[in-house]
Amino acid sequence: MEEEITLRELIEVLLKRKWLIFIITVSITLVAAVFSFFIVKPTYEASTTIAVTDVTPATGFFGSNTTVIFSDKDSGIPIFQSDTIEKDISLLLSSLLRYPDMSVDAFKEEVTNPVVLTNTIKQLKLDPKRYTLDNFKKQISVSVLNNTNLIQVTVKENDPQLAAEIANSIAQNFRNYVIERNTKQTDKLMQTLLKLIDLQNEKIRKAQEDLVNFLNNASNKLEIEQKQKELSLLKNTRDIMLEKYNMLELVKESDLGKQSILITSKALVPEKPVAPKKMLNVLIAFILGGQNS
């Protein structure tokens, strides 16, 4: 027959052990208090906000149709016809000369790339042994605010002043990184275009020589007309390339990259820590101490 414990008996047992319960509860509570107030260093958060906009210009060329040269299968004489947009030389160049498409989420992932973090560590002269890239990255959280083009960078640190300095340094180094990347991309596109223009000028020179030879040899009018059209097409293509090169020069001179990244709010030195929750820790320890007794 199972023994039943009455409420009175339970109270009597608790009263007999009241001092033990009291000592255990107070001890656990004191340990939690000492740990929260004196041992654990407070953690502060500092946040900065960055507005990102992909303002890199479109690199498409004007016009949807271009005259394209094909060779006749029987005679081998060039035939000129208007081709569809798929074979348009402007679209071909557009696919070659492109800036990378950057969404807000893509920008977000770039905030903590190794270049930005390394420059921040060097700029603030942080201890490289403590602030390794992996450890440093764990102190930083990056988020997009409510489906906008605003990116918030939050840094956790034991020193409130340092937390704000790191957040602001990351934002500035990220901006510099994007500007430098866009500038390098523009320079690369300009160099590519210069090579294409040089090649096109060489083709024009040869086409002009061929035309002069045809004229000197009194060839038939059809062949002369074809050579003249070929030369005209080569010059038109070269002009498209020059137009594009001039546009890229304007892009570089206008510093569009600086407009794509704006620091909308700098991090302020936080006044209160976000951790530990001292009173909450003490309360939890008091409750657990009473239950375990």
pLDDT at 144: 92
Three-class secondary structure of residue 26 per DSSP: helix
Strand partners, 144: 151
Distance of alpha carbon 281 from alpha carbon 276, whole angstroms: 8
8 A C-beta contact, residue 24 and residue 140: no
Q: How far is C-alpha 102 from the geometric centre of its chain's CA atoms?
A: 7
pLDDT at 226: 84
Low-confidence ranges of the chain (pLDDT < 70): 1-41, 54-101, 218-219, 255-257, 275-293
Give CA separation, 150 vs 90, 187, 241, in Å.
35, 28, 36
pLDDT at 271: 87
Nearest Cα to 251, choosing from 197, 191, 190?
190
8 A C-beta contact, residue 108 and residue 127: no
pLDDT at 61: 39
107-127 tens-digit pLDDT: 899 999 999 999 999 999 999
Alpha helices in the chain (DSSP H): 7-16, 18-34, 89-96, 104-110, 114-123, 133-138, 160-216, 221-254, 256-260, 278-292
Domains in the chain (CATH in brackets) are 8-40+276-292 (no CATH), 41-67+78-275 (3.30.1890)
pLDDT at 8: 61
Distance of alpha carbon 99 from alpha carbon 196, whole angstroms: 18
Amino acid letter, 271: E
DSSP 8-state secondary structure symbol assigned to residue 270: P
Residue 46 CB coordination number (10 Å)? 23
Distance of alpha carbon 45 from alpha carbon 140, whole angstroms: 10
Nearest Cα to 248, choosing from 167, 192, 165?
192
8 A C-beta contact, residue 265 and residue 50: no
Q: Which residues of 111-128 are buried (b: 16+ CB within 10 A; e: fewer)?
A: bbeeebbebbbeeeebee
Three-class secondary structure of residue 62 per DSSP: coil
Distance of alpha carbon 19 from alpha carbon 195, whole angstroms: 90
Q: Which residues of 194-216 are buried (b: 16+ CB within 10 A; e: fewer)?
A: eebbeebeebbeebeeebeebee
Distance of alpha carbon 89 from alpha carbon 61, whole angstroms: 9
pLDDT at 84: 39
Distance of alpha carbon 7 from alpha carbon 12, whole angstroms: 9
Distance of alpha carbon 119 from alpha carbon 112, whole angstroms: 11
pLDDT at 218: 63
